[in-house]
């Protein structure tokens, strides 16, 4: 199979997907030739019938991988992950319209139906290989039944691991560059940015222009989606995350524009916030999480806002759900709860609002449209630490760190566990341990595995062991959420929750 044949197949695939027109074939081929170091092209690229049949069944990402590997073999680029990503992104950029054209098409469709607009943009993001569909398919994902509904469990295997030699070479290259552009992975300046060692390739990246609270904001999809149509909405200004009145207003404005999507924000404080606190942004998508399905628990009224229906939610974390037909009163109710929570202390529940000038209380907000009404879930958060829990009192405790140690951000709050890649192999060793086979179980999994042996005595077989381990991982994630809840689901914890609710009056 020749590089010429693969290149031809990729261009024709782009035509079949309507990414380019047939009149663009020669132009696209020539552009890609220059990227991979080719100066001529045979009139009849040779390949066997078997190659033709095999490639006809392959998707764009497979053809792209073959072309990039051919470029490595030809010496056009080094065999480095980042260099291959840069070339891959540049090749796909040949097939994509400029941002102005993409935005024009998007808003033409949005004027007819917002679903058509997001369908168009999501399909484009997949076809351009910006959304890493092939890598996402490597993730281990399943649902775990719990008393709070089915939690989503994902072992994140999307990002390929680099070998130590490659990491060392990339560090050398990165150290030689003092570049500070774009300022972070979310900045709008990433749109079309070729990338460099240590900063992702974004030649094939496009963003949709939005106006929220009369400011420029941008809409894109996550390259490593954790759920259906996982999108990111980011500020045009590189500024820190902040939960304010404008946050709630932007979330509501967004779902009014895109009523088939939910949207939410990570909290704005360390420990309880997400992985990027230096750029104001939100995450949304077309997916219904377990928390959204969770029923109301205790219904109550906030006297100052008679048009807003309020309830706590039957969920392991502490959630207040507000519903209203109009944005105005709902917005003011959200702001009122945020401001009161920021100042609220209840030492009996381990909640202290401030240590000196350091604030501990904040909210993770999520907004959606449901049955023609605006619905806001306000998840109460506190990031205080103590000697017993140095990583956070309302953070996964040490006995679940063998499964999940990282921050509990927006996605986890709603019921989707994003677990580390190490668990793929570690859990297989746990299964061997449970089956009394030779194993290399990690020491930190052994107490948990011994508990499972006792709990499932007589039930563990080669047919059941994977289900049992997955089920128990689900319970561990439930424990993670319970640890992160500021008001526990115990009788004492719910009384404390009622004290806060009473303070809203």
Token pair for 260:
């088939």
**What is residue 275's predicted lDDT score, i.e. its pLDDT?**
83
**What is residue 53's predicted lDDT score, i.e. its pLDDT?**
55
The contacts of residue 425 (CB under 8 Å, 6+ apart) are none
Cβ atoms of 415 and 152 within 8 Å: the answer is yes
**What is residue 65's predicted lDDT score, i.e. its pLDDT?**
94
The whole-angstrom distance between residue 279's C-alpha and the CA centroid of its chain comes to: 15
| Nearest CA-CA partner of 234 in 270, 205, 260 | 205
**What is residue 152's predicted lDDT score, i.e. its pLDDT?**
98
Q: What is the dihedral of CA 449, 452, 458, 461, to 10 degrees?
A: -60
Helix boundaries (H) for 258-326:
290-293
Domain assignments of the chain as residue spans, ordered by start: 1-95, 422-484
Q: What is the pTM of this model?
A: 0.94
pLDDT tens string 422-481: 999 999 999 999 999 999 999 999 999 999 999 999 999 999 999 999 999 999 999 999
**What is residue 456's predicted lDDT score, i.e. its pLDDT?**
97
Strand pairing of 149-155 and 416-419?
A: parallel
**What is residue 360's predicted lDDT score, i.e. its pLDDT?**
98
SS3 219: strand
Q: Which residues of the chain have pLDDT under 50?
A: 57
485-493 CB contacts, 8 Å cutoff, 24+ apart: 485/316, 485/317, 485/318, 485/394, 486/317, 486/318, 486/349, 486/351, 486/380, 486/381, 486/382, 486/394, 487/318, 487/349, 487/380, 489/316, 493/349
Cβ atoms of 256 and 242 within 8 Å: the answer is no
Neighbours of 77 (CB within 10 A): 17
**What is residue 54's predicted lDDT score, i.e. its pLDDT?**
57
Q: Exposed/middle/buried for 350, CB within 10 Å: 0-12, 13-18, 19+?
A: middle
* HEC assignment per residue over 141-159: EEEEEECCEEEEEEECCCC
pLDDT tens string 367-391: 999 999 999 999 999 999 999 999 9
**What is residue 323's predicted lDDT score, i.e. its pLDDT?**
98
Helix boundaries (H) for 37-98:
49-56, 60-73, 81-93
Please give the order of strands across the beta sheet that includes 140-146.
140-146, 149-155, 416-419
| Nearest CA-CA partner of 341 in 272, 388, 277, 387 | 272
pLDDT tens string 401-424: 999 999 999 999 999 999 999 999
| Nearest CA-CA partner of 497 in 290, 310, 270 | 310
**What is residue 165's predicted lDDT score, i.e. its pLDDT?**
65
**What is residue 74's predicted lDDT score, i.e. its pLDDT?**
84
């Amino acid at each position: 199979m020749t590089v010429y044949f693969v290149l031809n197949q990729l261009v024709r695939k782009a035509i079949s997907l309507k990414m380019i027109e047939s009149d663009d074939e020669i132009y696209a081929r020539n552009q890609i030739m220059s990227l991979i170091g080719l100066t001529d092209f045979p009139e009849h690229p040779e390949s066997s019938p078997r190659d033709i049949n095999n490639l006809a069944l392959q998707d764009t990402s497979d053809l792209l991988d073959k072309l990039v590997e051919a470029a490595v073999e030809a010496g056009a680029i080094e065999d480095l992950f980042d260099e291959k990503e840069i070339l891959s992104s540049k090749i796909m950029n040949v097939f994509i319209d400029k941002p102005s054209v993409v935005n024009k098409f998007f808003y033409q469709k949005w004027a007819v139906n917002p679903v058509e607009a997001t369908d168009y943009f999501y399909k484009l993001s997949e076809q351009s290989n910006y959304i890493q569909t092939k890598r996402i398919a490597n993730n281990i994902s399943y649902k775990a039944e719990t008393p709070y509904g089915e939690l989503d469990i994902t072992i994140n295997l999307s990002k390929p691991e680099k070998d130590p030699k490659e990491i060392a070479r990339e560090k050398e290259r990165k150290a030689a560059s003092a570049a500070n552009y774009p300022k972070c992975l979310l900045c709008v300046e990433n749109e079309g940015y070729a990338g460099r060692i240590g900063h992702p390739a974004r030649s094939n990246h496009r963003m949709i222009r939005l106006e929220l609270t009369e400011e420029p904001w941008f809409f894109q999809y996550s390259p490593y989606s954790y759920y259906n149509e996982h999108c990111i909405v980011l500020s045009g200004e590189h500024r820190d995350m902040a939960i304010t009145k404008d946050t709630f207003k932007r979330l509501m404005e967004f779902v009014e524009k895109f009523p088939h999507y939910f949207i939410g924000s990570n909290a704005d404080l360390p420990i309880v916030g997400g992985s990027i606190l230096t750029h104001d942004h939100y995450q949304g998508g077309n997916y219904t999480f377990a928390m959204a399905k969770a029923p109301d628990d205790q219904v109550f009224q906030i006297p100052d806002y008679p048009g807003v229906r309020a309830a706590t939610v039957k969920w392991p974390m502490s959630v207040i759900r507000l519903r209203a037909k109009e944005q105005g009163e709902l917005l003011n109710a959200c702001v009122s709860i945020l401001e009161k929570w920021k100042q609220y202390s209840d030492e009996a529940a381990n909640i202290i609002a401030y240590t000196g000038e350091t604030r501990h209380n904040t909210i993770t907000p999520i907004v959606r449209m449901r049955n023609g009404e605006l619905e806001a879930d306000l998840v109460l958060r506190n990031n205080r630490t103590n000697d017993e829990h140095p990583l956070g009192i309302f953070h996964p405790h040490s006995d679940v760190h063998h499964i999940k140690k990282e921050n509990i951000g927006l996605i986890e709050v709603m019921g989707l566990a994003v677990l580390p890649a190490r668990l793929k192999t570690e859990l297989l060793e746990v299964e061997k341990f449970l089956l009394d086979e030779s194993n290399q179980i990690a020491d930190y999994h052994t107490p948990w595995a011994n508990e499972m042996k006792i709990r499932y005595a007589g039930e563990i077989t080669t047919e059941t062991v994977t289900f049992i381990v997955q089920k128990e991982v689900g319970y561990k994630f439930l424990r993670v959420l319970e640890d992160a809840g500021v008001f526990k689901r115990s009788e004492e914890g719910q009384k404390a929750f009622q004290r806060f609710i009473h303070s809203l009056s």
